[in-house]
């Protein structure tokens, strides 16, 4: 044990930095653990160590921001630093790496260490990788789901049923929450929708909603707002609902993986934590979606339904068309404007209206607000009547936004480029991944005006020179980058109906 002078380091990460000579005295190396004791407050914290020979002088140590959230040390205070034992959760992770199975107690220990920032980045990587390679069975998924819920805040409603929906993602422009939530709430149901920000996409639902109103609220605030107007669309990362999930996602992102067991637990933990009784899961199916075949989609649906039964939640799943974007808009402002168009009475885009009313209709049937087979019509009637728009305005207002906002107030980026059809024919292919990549190159989701507006979708007839899509950007250099990316990726293919002619030319010789 040594006593060292604290220096607060504005690094948004758990951990400590030690001078290498002090680290030797304590007995740790890079990646090792120490325990720090704040005698003023009686608080102690364990953290992984980074060492330096130049950044910090002997007798001082740096406390990273995330660690000091727990430690509450002051700049210049003298604290005790001692070597710490390795957490037991590492033994459990090693067991999984060797093909073993997590018990309930082992899962609880791991999730607690994740939430409390005990595990280092490399240890988190080992947990995620071992779970990805060896998989989680349904017992392990249930343990993980319950542990995620137990380590965060929960909503407790006195009236039921509570409804929720989720899309597993993978399809650009999937802004259906902007229609589904107000339709369900306008039917007299409660739907506290917690949503994510974009990780690899062009705009998460929380990014979109932030154009209209604040989205960062505590769990208790979400509950009060839902009880007042029937629904919310908020950022789940601010609620402390299933906080382990947000930490896991950060470490999954570099690998671009979405392990099946982790994904099931991630989705259902948030539904369980908000007190949902009825949940509709949207599973887009398509060549460029996360789920590529209907068979795979049905298998995933059965897993969601089984997990729901274990948790006491009624789940229904909708396998939806995932070959092309929902609607015409990809990118924050463009998608918000398109959703408001529909709420205001527009009859297009049909894909957005059909998908939204279908998902909402399933929820209305599950809740008894519509008869079996009548949910789609009931949802369509609520949308057409203007009740969904009225409810959306209430949601915007209760979250602190301007309820008078109109679609015409939401503008795309000032810089744009029109991509035209190179020949006459039909749009025969749309690559969702390529479209998202182009929108992100244009600045989405950070630049709200950036994105893509699609004029022609798969199966549509085009003439040479017709606009097929437009790229928008808030900054000119971003637009140039996006246009170059579009040239490389060719996200939409236009072909004529005549593919080839056999034989390709007439025989003009003299037959022998």
Q: Which residues are annotated as a binding site for AMP?
A: 170, 196-201, 205, 266, 290
CA distance linking residue 115 with residue 134, whole number of Å: 23
In 3D, which of 405, 445, 423 has the Cα closest to residue 492?
423
How far, in whole angstroms, is CA 318 from its chain's centroid?
19
Query: Nearest 5°: phi and psi at 199?
Result: -105, -55
Catalytic residue among 258, 282, 447, 474: 258
Radius of gyration of the chain (CA): 26
- Give CA–CA dist 275/391, Å, rounded: 21
Residues in binding site:
170, 196-201, 205, 266, 290
- Size of the chain, expressed as the number of residues it contains: 512
DSSP 190: B
Q: Are strands 33-38 and 78-83 parallel, antiparallel or unpaired?
A: antiparallel
CA–CA–CA angle 493, 324, 250 (5° rounding) = 115
Q: How many CB atoms lie within 10 A of CB 264?
A: 24
Q: What share of the chain is helix, strand, coil (3-state, %, to 5)?
A: 40, 20, 40
Give, in order, the Cα–Cα distances in Å from 97 to each of 88, 368, 466: 15, 46, 55
If you ran DSSP here, which 8-state letter would residue 346 be given? -
How far is 331 from 444, CA to CA, in rounded Å? 6
According to DSSP, residue 250 is labeled H
Catalytic, 98? Answer no
**Active-site amino acid positions:** 258
């Amino acid at each position: 044990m040594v006593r060292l002078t604290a220096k607060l380091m504005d690094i948004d990460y758990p951990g400590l930095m030690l001078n290498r000579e002090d680290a030797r005295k304590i007995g740790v190396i890079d990646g090792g653990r120490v325990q720090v004791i704040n005698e003023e407050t009686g608080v102690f914290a364990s953290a992984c160590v980074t060492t330096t020979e130049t950044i910090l002088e002997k007798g001082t140590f740096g406390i990273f921001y995330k660690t000091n959230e727990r430690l509450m040390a002051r700049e210049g205070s003298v604290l005790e630093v001692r070597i710490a034992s390795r957490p037991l959760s590492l033994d459990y992770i090693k067991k999984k790496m060797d093909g073993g199975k997590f018990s309930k107690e082992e899962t609880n220990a791991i999730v607690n260490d994740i939430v409390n920032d005990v595990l280092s980045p490399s240890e988190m990587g080992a947990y995620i990788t071992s779970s990805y390679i060896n998989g989680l069975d349904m017992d392990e998924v249930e343990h993980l789901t319950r542990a995620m819920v137990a380590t965060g805040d929960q909503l407790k409603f006195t009236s039921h049923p509570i409804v929720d929906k989720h899309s597993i993602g993978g399809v650009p422009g999937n802004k259906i929450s902007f229609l589904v939530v107000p339709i369900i709430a306008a039917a007299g149901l409660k739907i506290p929708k917690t949503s994510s920000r974009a990780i690899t996409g062009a705009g998460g639902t929380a990014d979109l909603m932030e154009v209209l109103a604040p989205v960062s609220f505590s769990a208790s605030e979400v509950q009060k707002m839902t009880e007042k107007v029937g629904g919310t669309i908020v950022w789940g990362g601010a609620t402390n609902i299933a906080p382990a999930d947000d930490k896991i996602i950060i470490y999954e992102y570099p690998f671009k993986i979405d392990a099946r067991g982790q994904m099931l637990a991630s989705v259902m933990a948030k539904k369980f934590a908000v007190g949902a009784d009825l949940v509709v899961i949207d599973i887009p199916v398509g060549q460029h979606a996360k789920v590529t075949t209907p068979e795979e989609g049905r298998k995933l649906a059965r897993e969601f339904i089984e997990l729901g039964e274990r948790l006491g939640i009624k789940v229904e799943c909708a396998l939806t068309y995932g070959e092309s974007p929902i609607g015409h808009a990809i990118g924050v402002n463009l998608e918000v404007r398109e959703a408001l168009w529909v709420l205001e009475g527009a009859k297009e885009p049909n894909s957005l209206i059909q998908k939204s009313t279908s998902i909402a209709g399933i929820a209305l049937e599950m809740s008894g607000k519509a008869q079996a087979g009548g949910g789609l019509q009931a949802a369509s009637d609520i949308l057409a009547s203007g009740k969904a728009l009225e409810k959306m305005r209430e949601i915007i207002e209760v979250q602190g936004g301007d309820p008078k906002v109109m679609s015409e107030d939401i503008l795309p980026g000032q810089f744009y480029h029109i991509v035209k059809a190179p020949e006459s024919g039909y749009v025969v292919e749309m690559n969702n991944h390529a479209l998202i990549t182009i929108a992100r190159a244009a600045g989405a989701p950070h630049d709200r005006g950036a994105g893509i507006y699609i004029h022609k979708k798969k199966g549509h007839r085009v003439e040479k020179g017709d606009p097929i899509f437009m790229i928008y950007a808030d900054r000119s250099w971003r637009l140039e980058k996006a246009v170059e990316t579009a040239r490389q990726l060719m996200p939409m293919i236009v072909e004529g109906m005549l593919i080839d002619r056999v034989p390709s030319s007439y025989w003009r010789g003299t037959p022998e």
